[in-house]
Structure 1
Amino acid sequence: MRGVRFVALGDSLTEGVGDPVGAGWRGWAALLAGGLAAESVDFTNLAVSGAQTRDVLERQTPAALALRPDVVSVVIGVNDTLRCTFDIHAVAARLDEVYAAFTAQGAVLLTACLPDPGARLGLPGVLARPLARRQRAVNAVVHALSERYGAVHLHAAEGAWLKERAMWSADRLHPGERGHRQLAARFHTLLMSERLATGAPPSPVPEFPAPTRSASLLWLATAGTGWVARRCTDLLPQLLNLAAEELRHRARGTSGRLDLRASHAVSTALAALTVTDRPPDVA
């Protein structure tokens, strides 16, 4: 009899960036895996740094379905908000297809809403607000679809942990070891409450010392600079356009229209899924 099979899908957060162990990353999903069952757990991490919902749908999902997981985590969406191609209708359609595929196979589905990257980076308000609006849209879609498919959903977009510097790595976008441990422990608590986990909870106590300030500065000056450069090449031109639109609406006193437009886009995206997935009438 095989043990519990857990497959993790997503981007750098699930890959484990911010929680280095040896020459690689560990992360919240690996920490959670050991607590899913008292017996053996077969863990596979398919998450890749930079992945978007399209990558999860087209590349990671087929590989994960072939493994027939008992538990599958799908935590994705931040990278979509950081691209000029952002489209909440496409994000919703992709996530709907991914969630449906795993629940049809009988897997326990884990999802999470995520913090706003603009706030984590400390961007000026005129630049941060458009990104925050996008992340709220993604979170609203994830909330709705998680409820629709009966997912075990973690509310990670808010809470005191966001303001605790010790929870975050040098780049301020990814959790450090302590933050990854908190995510793992919170998922474990949710699973225990549903009687879906039988192993010991992940320890919240860090195994390794936090990076020194000099190590953090070195990361920001090397890998961190490269990360920002890659994102800015794609996002910056559109982000400047979004900021200009933000300023125009603020000058006219119509900033609320941007929020209403974003809310309407989420509603229509979810409504389109409802229409598409409605079973045919029986004569």
Structure 2
Amino acid sequence: MSGLRFVALGDSLTEGVGDPVGDGWRGWAALLAAGLAEDDVDFVNLAVSGAQTRDVLERQLPQGLALRPDVVSVVVGVNDTLRCTFDIHAVAARLDRVYAAFSAQGAVLLTACLPDPGAMLGLPGALARPLARRQRAVNTVVHALSERYGAVHLHASEGAWLTDRAMWSADRLHPGERGHRQLAVRFHALLASRGLADGVAPSVEPEFPVPTKSASLWWLATAGTGWVVRRCGDLLPQLLSLAVDEMRHRARGTSAWLDLRAAHAVSAALASVSAEAA
């Protein structure tokens, strides 16, 4: 494949947070770009830290469409789960519009389901379960829409890499260099199996030394904690309320009802976008 253009949309994961190079971030998408073709690949990263599905639809999509990419990645959704405004119906509708727009242009679409942020942060069960439920809902929507639009979909929400601390940065929410390389290698394998990548696969071995423990703790204290506060500060009051509700249902033995309610919301959201497409 020659003259290939790869455009990446999304949030801090795709921006490359956790994989510092020079004064900026590199990340899995940049690593993947280098292996998509034997010739140079025109790579444009539109991802912005903190982006939600609304930001991707309203800001990044118009820029991405104007670039007319051959390959486009849309990996987003975790920030939606960390907001008090979380609405799986809105998430599904936005992702459907983004996927449909790039598919209509003939671009190869890359998507991924993502880990549960509560589990990655090691939150207590009553706080973690509501976030896990939200992330499962987003992942279910991404699975279904990826299948609808024939996307190259990476199951990044599972596997041994989630519990391997060497894969993750100090904040436990973003991959480190090894983790970003893992994502790039897995995406490359999926694309190569479909004849959509003929460049050299990214290396799994890190290029730079692993940050020292003191450097990681310093980053977490000076930047990482602020990142978490900015992303989910407005969620905290609601999350505490959800935790109380979680404990109440657990005490009554009705926790399954919360899962059923979430599953029904996902089904309704997907039915809604299907009806609109029809």
* C-alpha distance in 1 between matches for 2:208 and 2:243: 40
| Distance of 1:276 and 1:101 partners within structure 2 | 14
Say yes or no: does 1:252 pair with 2:252: yes
TM-score by length of structure 2 reads 0.99
Q: What is the correspondence of 1:61-140 to structure 2 with a 5 Å cutoff?
A: 61-140=61-140
CA displacement, residues 209-238 of structure 1 (integer Å, 9 cap, x when unaligned): 111000011111111221232234211011
Whether the aligned pair in 1 keeps the contact of 2:3 and 2:42 (CA below 8 Å) is yes
Give deviations 1:45-98, integer Å, cap 9, x for gaps: 000000000000000000000000000000000000000000000000000000
TM-score calculated relative to the size of structure 1: 0.97
Partner residue in 1 for 2:14: 14
Secondary structure of 2:44's counterpart equals: strand
C-alpha separation between the residues in 1 aligned to 2:231 and 2:192? 38
Report the CA distance between 1:2 and its aligned residue: 6.8
What one-letter code is carried by the residue in structure 1 that aligns with 2:125? Answer: G
Q: What's the secondary structure of 1:263's corresponding residue?
A: helix
For residues 128 and 272 of structure 1, the distance between their equivalents in structure 2, rounded to whole angstroms, comes to 28
TM-superposed deviation, 1:276: 1.1
- Give the C-alpha shift of residue 248 in structure 1: 1.0
Matched position secondary structure for 1:218: helix
Counterparts of 1:256-271 in structure 2, within 5 Å, are 256-271=256-271
Q: Which residue of 2 aligns with 1:226?
A: 226
Between the two proteins, what is the percent identity of the paired residues?
82
The CA distance in 2 between the partners of 1:240 and 1:60, in whole Å, is 32
Q: What code does the residue aligned with 1:120 have?
A: M
| CA–CA distance in structure 1, aligned partners of residues 265 and 228 of structure 2 | 28
Distance 1:182 1:22 in 2: 21
Partner SS, residue 14 of structure 1: helix
Structure 2 vs 1, CA of residues 262 and 105 (structure 1 numbering), >3 Å: closer, same or farther?
Answer: same
Letter in 1 for 2:175: P
Q: Which ranges of 4 or more aligned residues in structure 1 deviate by more than 6 Å?
A: none
Three-state SS of the structure 2 residue aligned to 1:48 is coil
Gaps of 5+ in 2: none
Residue of structure 1 in register with 2:210 after alignment: 210
SS of residue matched to 1:234: coil
Q: How many residue pairs align between the two structures?
A: 278
C-alpha separation in 1, matches of 2:275 and 2:8:
30
Q: Which amino acid aligns with 2:31?
A: L
Q: What is the rounded CA distance, in whole Å, between the counterparts of 1:132 and 1:215 in structure 2?
A: 30
Partner AA of 1:235 in structure 2: L
Give the distance between the partners of 2:191 and 2:268, measured in 1 at CA.
Answer: 32
CA distance in 2, matches of 1:233, 1:161: 28
* 1:38 and 2:38 matched: yes
